[in-house]
Chain A
Amino acid sequence: MVSGIVSYGVYIPRFRIRVNEIARVWGDGDDISESLQVFEKSVPDLDEDAVTIAVEAARNALQRANVDPRRIGAIYAGSESHPYAVKPTGTIVGQAVCSSSSFTAADFEFACKAGTAAIQACLGLVGSKDIDLGLAIGADVSQGAPGDMLEYTAAAGGAAYLIGREGLAAEIESFYSFTTDTPDFWRREGMPYPEHGGRFTGEPAYFKHISSAARGLMERMGTAPNDYDYAVFHQPNGKFPVRVAKTLGFSKRQIEPGLVVPMIGNTYSGSCLIGLAATLDIAEPGDRIFVTSFGSGAGSDAFSISVKERIEDIRCGAPSVRDYIGDAQYLDYAMYAKHKGKLRI
């Protein structure tokens, strides 16, 4: 059963803070942005959260391909910053974008890869013909404690993908997942900020899981890095995806279009999916894209994607990733703290 991406949409808040501005407040050197390869990050407006970002991204996805929302049979929203602990984000998104209530919905959480897990769930329902279209979303207003290394990269943004069988802009040829119990990053119930294992988040977590999922998929399909025109890897900072790409045999040229973290930071559940959207924004029919997400805890989902002719028809139907990146308004740390709710009134 051929299934894949019918449409896609992204949303990135327009506010930014420069990494060097955060470093100024905490007494770290200006070289922190160079060492992270992240120069600025997106910041939500005072009235934005994972739900509002998910709705805007979903509306862009529907608008891009002029899709009738009554065709949507499932909405899965992935985030680690769902505004409610109990009350699904998917219900609010559904009410905002669907003109029918005849759909199933659930919220996903798997650190930074909940959005790709949502795509897999939609592929299952679409492939079995239980639904016509599934809406998979990854959206976050990620948190980093003041002064913590996470604060330099934790950003806000999201992407929505309409998964179906007909009118494909890109076929998802196959996917493969690799999951272990690895406590590299976590947030306990009721805690405002996540904790992490510092350097432990690297080799045993990010690199092991992405490499294993990526190699597993290529082995299963009999493909190699040079069979792909583009590649996207989860982007917690600007260094990790470049290094894992090199280790796997992908070139800088292959990952460059989807490498958005230097300009917007790590959008967590949105990260890999915004990178894929930025690649789809410039991909040509016939191009192949290799995508691997990573979620702490830990797991990776790898996808092999083939771009179809339809991409040309829908590409300009909604704002591109570069449109959002170009619409930036800068904050100082005081305004950033207000936006992020770090100031208690």
Chain B
Amino acid sequence: MTTQAPRFWRSIPQRYNLKGTHCTRCNEYFFPPRNLCPNCRRGAHLEEYTFKGTGTIVTYTTIYNATEFFERLTPYVLAIIQLDEGPRVTGQIVSSPEGVKIGMRVRPVFRVLGKEGDRGIIYYGTKFAPQREQE
């Protein structure tokens, strides 16, 4: 079996903790992280930034026929989420499809993203859940 372990390992900071970058000069946030600010170019001041993970659902779709990797999860919701700092990310929403709405506030949750079958590694990372009422 060919493992994707090195590829997965390289993206652990982004997957576990939404690590991106922030240009302190133009105040733009980037996810996934960029090592060049397209606005400031050579004048950029980039620093590592951990996103809060809270945001708003911009749009979503419900998957009923998934690939082999995800067929046990169907039906599940994939959404584009606008993080509060600005960037948009694609992520799974941990909710029944009926519970998801455009404009809904979400928070990050730590979940299994996938598995390399029964013998390979387990991919962990961030999904999103509807925000609790008090948040």
Contacts and interface: CB of A to CB of B under 8 A. Distances in A.
A345 B69 CA distance: 12
A47 B16 contact: no
Nearest to B72: A46
B72 A345 contact: yes
Instruction: Tell which of B17, B71, B111, B121 has the most Cβ of chain A within 10 Å.
Output: B111
Contacts, number: 42
A92 B127 CA distance: 16
B71 A345 contact: yes
A248 interface: no
A338 B73 CA distance: 9
B110 A56 contact: yes
A87 B120 CA distance: 12
Interface in A28-62: 45-49, 51-52, 55-56, 59
Given A83-B122, A96-B124, A345-B71, A47 B17 contact: no
Interface in B66-105: 71-73, 94
Contacts of B40: none
Contact of B124 (A52, A327, A345): A52
B110 A52 contact: yes
A27 to B, nearest CB: 28
A56 B132 CA distance: 15
Nearest to A316: B134
A83 B112 CA distance: 11
Given A96-B16, A345-B71, A47 B122 contact: no
A55 B112 contact: no
A95 interface: yes
A61 to B, nearest CB: 14
Contact of B12 (A59, A83, A84, A95): A95
B58 interface: no
A105 B106 CA distance: 32
Nearest to A54: B110
B124 A92 contact: yes
A262 B124 CA distance: 31
B110 A49 contact: no
Nearest to B121: A87
Contacts of A59: 110
- The interface centre, meaning the residue of B17, B72, B94, B124 with most chain A CB atoms within 10 A of its CB, is B124
Q: Which of A84, A96, A319, A327 neighbours the largest number of chain B CB atoms within 10 Å of its CB?
A: A96
B36 interface: no
B124 A45 contact: no
A87 B73 CA distance: 25
Most buried by B among A55, A84, A327: A55
Contacts of B17: 96
